[in-house]
C-alpha cells in the first residue's frame, strides 16, 4: 500500500479554498492509501515564534476541521509534528543537501519574503534561518514516513519539487533510502474569492470558512461580485464573469443549468440568485458542521485520536530513521 503524507499549519480555520484545493482529495484517498495528516505546529512557529498561544489554540481547531471535513481516524493518522523528533533530526541531515541560494529561489518562499519585506522593510529583519529553511523541514515531514504521494494545493508545488531534489541527492550519496514523492493536485487547485480575487486566502480576507454560520455566509455572499453590466433584475447577464455563478458550480448545485439559463435570459435577479447560493452553501456545509459539533462535544475523543495518530507516525518514523542512520554510518552501538 502506498503512503500519503500531507497537512497544514495550525494558524487559522480551514476554508473552502482548502476544501476544494486538497481536503476533498485527502478524504477520498484515505481509503486506498496509508494516510498521514500532519498538524504542522513546528512549521507554524517559523512565522509565529512569538505567539505560541495562537499555535497551541489552532492545533485543536485544525484537528476539528480535519475530522469535520471527513478525515476518518480509522483510516488516517492525524498527528502533531512537534511530537515526532525524528523530523528535527532529519531536517539537520537534509540541511547539508540544499544551498542557501536554492532556498531563496523557491517561488513560494520568494513570494512570502516579498510579503514580509512589505511589513519589515528590505533589511531582511523578518527573514530568519528557520523561515528560509522550512521547506527542508517539510521534506523531513514527507521523508519521515517515506511518503509516495503528497496531496496539496498549488502553492505547495515548489516545496515538493525542493523535497524531490533533496531526497534524490540523499539517495545518490547515502544509497537508496527514500521514495521520491509525487505531488497530487485536485482538479480545482486554486479557488477564487467571492470578491473576484484569483485566490481565496486569509490575507485577502475573502474566505468562506467550513465553520461559518448562516448569517456570516449570507453577509459574504451578498457582497459578492456579479456581472457589472447587470443593473436591473431582469437584465440578461453573463454568468461566466459572476462569482456567484462560479460558487454555484464549485459546490455542484444540481440546479446549475437553470441558474445559467435564467441568468442569460434575464429571468433571475442577483439577490434571488445569492439567496439560493446561501441555501446551497449551508446544505453543502451541513454534514461538515454536524461532524464538527459531534467532535467539539467530545474533547477527550479528539485528544485520543491525536495521540493514536502521533504514536502510529512515531513508530513509522523510527523504522525509517533506523535505515537512515545505517546508510549514513551513524549507527554506532548497534
Ligand atoms: N506548508 C504546508 C502549509 O503551509 C504545511 C506542511 C508542512 C506540509 N509540512 C508538510 C504540507 C508536508 C505537505 C507536506 O500548510
Ligand atoms: Fe450572477 Fe446570478 Fe446575477 Fe447571473 S443572476 S449575474 S449568475 S448573481
Render pLDDT for 180-227 as a digit per residue (tens, 0 to 9).
999 999 888 889 999 999 999 988 899 999 999 999 999 999 999 999
Q: How far apart are CA 139 and CA 92, in angstroms?
A: 11
**Same domain as 321, residue 263:** no
**CB of 9 shorter than 6 A to ligand 1:** yes
Residues spanned by the domain of 260: 214-291
Q: Which of 156, 164, 158, 159 is nearest to 186 (CA)?
A: 156
**CB of 18 shorter than 6 A to ligand 1:** no
- Look up residue 66 and give its three cell numbers: 480535519
**CB of 244 shorter than 6 A to ligand 2:** yes
**CB of 278 shorter than 6 A to ligand 2:** no
Long-range pairs, 264-269, Cβ under 8 A, ≥24: 264/236, 264/237, 264/238, 264/239, 265/236, 266/234, 266/235, 266/236, 266/237, 267/234, 268/233, 269/233, 269/234
Q: Cell 514523492 identifies what position?
A: 181
**Same domain as 308, residue 286:** no
- Residue 223 belongs to domain with CATH number: 1.10.240.10
**Same domain as 306, residue 269:** no
Kindly give the parts of the chain with pLDDT less than 70.
Answer: 123-125
Torsion (CA) 222, 225, 226, 232 in degrees, nearest 10: 60
Torsion (CA) 325, 327, 329, 331 in degrees, nearest 10: 40
**pLDDT score, position 278:** 98
Answer yes or no: is 29 within a domain: yes
**Same domain as 52, residue 157:** yes
Fill in the DSSP letter of residue 156. Answer: G
Could you tell me if 310 and 84 are in contact, meaning their C-beta atoms sit under 8 angstroms apart?
A: yes
**Same domain as 263, residue 121:** no
Nearest ligand, measured from the Cα of 246: 2
Q: How far apart are CA 69 and CA 64, in angstroms?
A: 8
**Same domain as 277, residue 171:** no
Cα(100) to ligand 1 centroid in Å equals 20
pTM for the whole thing?
A: 0.94
**pLDDT score, position 124:** 60
How far are the Cα atoms of 46, 95, 157, 296, 314 from residue 133, in angstroms, in the given order?
9, 8, 16, 35, 23
Burial of 172 (0-12, 13-18, 19+ CB in 10 A): exposed
**Same domain as 131, residue 44:** yes
**Same domain as 246, residue 152:** no
Q: Which atom of ligand 2 is nearest to the CA of 260?
A: 7
Answer yes or no: is 200 within a domain: no
Answer yes or no: is 137 within a domain: yes
**pLDDT score, position 95:** 98
- Residue 17 belongs to domain with CATH number: 3.40.50.620
Q: Which atom of ligand 2 is nearest to the CA of 264?
A: 4
Nearest ligand, measured from the Cα of 134: 1
**Same domain as 305, residue 278:** no
Cα(61) to ligand 2 centroid in Å equals 34
Answer yes or no: is 120 within a domain: yes
Half-sphere exposure of residue 20: CA atoms within 13 angstroms, side-chain side: 22
**CB of 141 shorter than 6 A to ligand 1:** yes
Answer yes or no: is 208 within a domain: no
**Same domain as 235, residue 138:** no
Answer yes or no: is 114 within a domain: yes
Q: Cell 523504522 identifies what position?
A: 319
- Look up residue 151 and give its three cell numbers: 496531496
Radius of gyration of the chain (CA): 22
Answer yes or no: is 201 within a domain: no
Q: How many domains does the chain have?
A: 2
**CB of 226 shorter than 6 A to ligand 2:** yes
Ranges of H-type helices in the chain: 16-18, 24-29, 41-48, 52-69, 85-94, 100-105, 107-120, 129-132, 134-144, 157-174, 214-222, 243-250, 256-264, 270-296, 299-327
**pLDDT score, position 117:** 85
Q: How far apart are CA 241 and CA 42, in angstroms?
A: 41
**Same domain as 140, residue 27:** yes
- Look up residue 90 and give its three cell numbers: 532529519
Answer yes or no: is 206 within a domain: no
pLDDT tens track for 31-58: 999 999 999 999 999 999 999 999 999 9
Q: Cell 528590505 identifies what position?
A: 122
**Same domain as 307, residue 282:** no
Q: CA 187, 292, 51 angle in degrees (round to 5)?
A: 85
Cα(252) to ligand 2 centroid in Å equals 16
Burial of 5 (0-12, 13-18, 19+ CB in 10 A): buried
Amino acid at each position: 500500500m502506498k503512503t500519503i503524507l500531507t497537512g497544514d499549519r495550525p494558524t487559522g480555520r480551514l476554508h473552502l479554498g482548502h476544501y476544494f484545493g486538497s481536503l476533498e482529495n485527502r478524504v477520498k484517498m484515505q481509503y486506498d492509501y496509508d494516510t498521514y495528516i500532519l498538524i504542522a505546529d513546528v512549521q507554524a512557529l517559523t512565522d509565529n515564534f512569538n505567539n505560541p498561544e495562537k499555535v497551541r489554540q489552532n492545533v485543536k481547531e485544525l484537528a476539528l476541521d480535519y475530522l469535520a471535513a471527513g478525515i476518518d481516524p480509522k483510516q488516517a493518522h492525524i498527528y502533531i509534528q512537534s511530537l515526532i523528533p525524528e523530523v528535527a533530526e532529519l531536517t539537520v541531515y537534509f540541511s547539508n543537501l540544499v544551498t542557501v541560494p536554492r532556498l531563496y529561489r523557491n517561488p513560494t518562499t520568494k513570494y512570502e519574503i516579498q510579503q514580509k519585506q512589505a511589513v519589515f522593510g528590505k533589511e531582511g529583519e523578518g527573514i530568519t534561518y528557520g523561515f528560509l529553511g522550512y521547506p527542508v523541514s517539510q521534506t523531513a515531514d514527507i521523508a519521515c514516513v517515506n511518503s509516495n504521494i503528497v496531496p496539496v494545493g498549488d502553492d505547495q508545488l515548489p516545496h515538493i519539487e525542493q523535497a524531490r531534489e533533496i531526497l534524490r541527492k540523499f539517495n545518490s550519496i547515502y544509497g537508496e533510502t527514500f521514495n521520491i514523492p509525487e505531488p497530487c493536485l485536485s482538479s480545482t487547485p486554486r479557488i477564487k474569492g467571492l470578491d473576484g480575487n484569483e485566490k481565496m486566502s486569509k490575507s485577502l480576507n475573502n474566505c468562506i470558512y467550513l465553520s461559518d454560520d448562516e448569517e456570516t455566509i449570507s453577509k459574504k455572499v451578498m457582497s459578492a461580485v456579479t456581472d457589472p453590466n447587470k443593473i436591473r433584475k431582469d437584465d440578461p447577464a453573463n454568468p461566466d464573469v459572476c462569482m456567484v455563478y462560479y460558487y454555484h458550480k464549485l459546490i455542484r448545485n444540481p440546479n446549475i443549468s437553470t441558474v445559467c439559463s435564467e441568468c442569460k435570459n434575464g429571468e433571475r435577479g442577483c439577490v434571488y440568485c445569492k439567496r439560493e447560493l446561501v441555501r446551497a452553501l449551508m446544505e453543502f456545509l451541513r454534514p461538515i458542521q454536524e461532524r464538527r459539533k459531534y467532535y467539539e462535544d467530545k474533547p477527550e475523543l479528539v485528544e485520543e485520536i491525536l495521540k493514536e495518530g502521533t504514536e502510529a507516525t512515531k513508530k513509522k518514523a523510527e523504522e525509517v530513521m533506523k535505515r537512515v542512520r545505517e546508510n549514513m554510518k551513524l549507527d554506532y552501538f548497534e
